[in-house]
Amino acid sequence: MFTGIIEELGTLREENTTSTGKQFMISARKVLDDLTRGESISVNGVCLTVVHCDKKSLCLDLVHETLDKSNLGGLKIGAQMNLERALKLSTRLGGHILQGHVETVGVILEKEKDGEGAIITVRLDKKWMKYCVPKGSIALDGISLTIASASENIIKVALIPHTLEQTTLGIKDKSATLNIETDIIGKYIESLLHR
């Protein structure tokens, strides 16, 4: 489980093709403090397992399912990624509950300056819009955010300066892809009502 509060930006240092997909070597600092092999880490909102780590980098395996359902397969060497270690029960829940199970990929249609912040307009598959409600939570590339408005297959999200400075949303622009995880609460309610 994650909170969507990004701890740092990591950099894709090396990528190798494997029989099951790809293997990433990511340079980082802060998240490596107490990270060990076998732990979960959120990379652009995708929950991955640490295969190896040292004081400068971590190694992760990405299976074909992960590459098909997220934007990670399209990253190039040198790309920056949002990193967050798994939630500890003794930690404040500053964002919202995330599983790191990306459901779909959205596209930034527009990014408008709003003072020191910005407003982004994102298009996603209409099938996921039933879980997108104004003032509700959503994760874009693993970042816990609040939906400002939702209609058809478009959502708008307001970004504060801190988010622009500390996450990949500061460098992503029009036409960039985003990993989308909608709020889990709506999905559980829907499942219970259908039973």
Q: Are strands 46-53 and 57-63 parallel, antiparallel or unpaired?
A: antiparallel
| Residue recorded with tokens 């300056």 | 113
So where are the chain's domains?
A: 8-85, 104-194
Strand pairing partners for 147?
157
| CATH classification (class only), 104-194 | mainly beta
pTM of the model: 0.92
Residue 77 and residue 22 in contact, taking contact as beta carbons nearer than 8 Å = no
Q: Domain 8-85 falls in which CATH fold? A: Elongation Factor Tu (Ef-tu); domain 3 (2.40.30)
Topology agreement, domain 8-85 and domain 104-194: yes
pLDDT in tens, the chain (195 residues): 899 999 999 999 999 999 999 999 999 999 999 999 999 999 999 999 999 999 999 999 999 999 999 999 999 999 999 999 999 888 777 888 899 999 999 999 999 999 999 999 999 999 999 999 999 999 999 999 999 999 999 999 999 999 999 999 999 999 999 999 999 888 888 899 988
Both tokens assigned to 162: 């801190």
Taking CA atoms, 37 is separated from 68, 105, 157, in Å, by 25, 28, 35
